[in-house]
Amino acid sequence: MIKVTEELASNQTFKSYVIFWIGQLFSVLGSSISHFAIIWWITDLTGSTMLLSLASFFYILPMTIVVALTGVIIDKWNRKTIIVVVDSLQAYVMLLVIIIFNFGGTNPILIVGIMSLLGIFQGFHIPTVSAIVPTMVPKEKLSRMNGINFFFRSFIQIIGPVIGAMLLSVIPIEIVLWIDPLTYIIAFIPLIITKIPKVQSKETVVKKNSFLEDFKIGIKTLKSIPVVFMMLLISMFVNFLLVPINILMPYFIRYNHSGDASNLAFIITFMNGGMLLGALVTSIKKEWKHALFIYFSLEFVLMMTGSIMAITPYQLYLMLGIISAITGITVPILNTIYLTIMQLKVPADKMGRLSSLDWAISSAITPIAAILTGPLSEIVGVTNLFLSCSILGMIITLLLWWIAHTRVNNNNKKKELEKMDIIIDSIPE
């Protein structure tokens, strides 16, 4: 039986993880470029908010369904095998898309349908990668590794759209899309040579649990960590209300501000530049005092940026970029605080179940938001929809903070607030 997280991870496993992680960054770059190219192609070709809404819906829905069930599989099966299989399937899907583009079958609805398969594969990939982190990264390096990961991913997300926009201006999308499978090959090599620890839970040694029983274990684990549950609740609402802004941003730039692909890339660059800065802060900051207050405050700022963006004057792209940068700064800080707590508090043999459950709950209502985005934007307009979501998000954030703060005070749980301080060198067991 494999032991707990801190006994699994060592300096040797950390070196192996870095090799694996570098390969994954190449894959993220390829996906960033191809995703930008396809979304801009759909936006420019159709000018339809409904189709953008459906594209997100058919990507998010299967991912949400699959990710809710994959935790048990991740904790029982070989995690390396899972990543190899789903990453390979994603590469095959992109090859199919490339073939369709090159043979003239560029029907937006067909492309949206095929791309929805990527949501299924991501439903396996995301929680699996998340689950192996605490088994390969030593406890004292977790917080900084999370911050460094956000830093480099943000940098890649900056250059991805820029490269995509530059390439689309000189070569057809049929050629641009080839970058994705090529970066997959680069990522596949370190994946194959990296040894990923196998984690066997105590339950599977003593007793063979059913799928449902294992799933219930994940729920019980979540309930036993109130801090994680509270952060998960607010993230669920915020994710829901940010969906229209994320989905309709290409449309907002193209039709509300008469922009082109370079303008959209400019906005995305500022956003990911902000994420780069936020990730840099999290990679060097060792201590987060009053983490619960920081978490809720940044969620409020995140929602407030939507209102400012909605009322930005026509074609004032610099202002849109600055607002996007502020949005980007908050994301890695929010995620680092949350991920570090979860990775340190959850046993290694239950990490897969909780990772998938965490992702599923926080994304549970996102498909509903995606399918509602198109019709609502047609009824109230894109600008009014941005404003409504932003204001509602700020109200909900304040309400949940008030409930959490009042509950703690009424129960005289001052020590509970103190536990919200994340001091990496002395995290409570």
Is there a domain that residue 67 lies in?
yes
Is there a domain that residue 163 lies in?
yes
Alpha carbon distance 292, 3 (integer Å) = 30
The confidence score (pLDDT) of residue 425 equals: 38
The confidence score (pLDDT) of residue 212 equals: 59
Alpha carbon distance 112, 96 (integer Å) = 13
Is there a domain that residue 2 lies in?
no
Is there a domain that residue 201 lies in?
no
Is there a domain that residue 217 lies in?
yes
Tell me which residue range forms the domain holding 276.
8-196+210-426
- Residue 216 · residue 363 · CB < 8 Å: no
Q: What is the CATH number of the domain that holds 251?
A: 1.20.1250.20
The confidence score (pLDDT) of residue 345 equals: 67
Three-state DSSP string of the chain: CCCCHHHHCCHHHHHHHHHHHHHHHHHHHHHHHHHHHHHHHHHHHHCCHHHHHHHHHHHHHHHHHHHHHHHHHHHHCCHHHHHHHHHHHHHHHHHHHHHHHHCCCCCHHHHHHHHHHHHHHHHHHHHHHHHHHHHHCCHHHHHHHHHHHHHHHHHHHHHHHHHHHHHHHHCCHHHHCCHHHHHHHHHHHHHHHCCCCCCCCHHHHHCCCCHHHHHHHHHHHHHCCHHHHHHHHHHHHHHHHHHHHHHHHHHHHHHHCCCCHHHHHHHHHHHHHHHHHHHHHHHHCCEECCHHHHHHHHHHHHHHHHHHHHCCCCCCHHHHHHHHHHHHHHHHHHHHHHHHHHHHHCCHHHHHHHHHHHHHHHHCCHHHHHHHHHHHHHHHCHHHHHHHHHHHHHHHHHHHHHHHHHHHHHCCCHHHHHCCCEEHHHCCC
Is there a domain that residue 321 lies in?
yes
Alpha carbon distance 248, 376 (integer Å) = 11
Consecutive 10-residue averages of pLDDT for the chain (429 residues): 49 84 86 83 80 78 74 74 87 87 78 80 79 80 75 74 81 87 88 77 47 63 69 80 86 86 84 82 72 84 91 90 90 80 67 65 72 86 91 89 65 47 39
- Phi, psi for residue 3 in degrees, rounded to 5: -90, -170
Report the domain count for the chain: 1
Is the dihedral angle over the CA atoms 254, 260, 263, 265 positive or is it negative? positive
- Residue 259 · residue 253 · CB < 8 Å: yes
- Residue 340 · residue 154 · CB < 8 Å: no
Contacts of 302 (CB under 8 A, 6+ apart): 238, 242, 327, 330, 331, 334, 393
In 3D space, the residue among 184, 74, 176, 175 whose CA is nearest the CA of residue 118 turns out to be 184
The confidence score (pLDDT) of residue 424 equals: 37
Q: Is the model's pTM score more than 0.75?
A: no
The confidence score (pLDDT) of residue 322 equals: 93
Is there a domain that residue 202 lies in?
no
The confidence score (pLDDT) of residue 154 equals: 67
Is there a domain that residue 203 lies in?
no
What is the residue whose two structure tokens read 């965490």? Answer: 358
- Residue 277 · residue 331 · CB < 8 Å: no
- Residue 227 · residue 341 · CB < 8 Å: yes
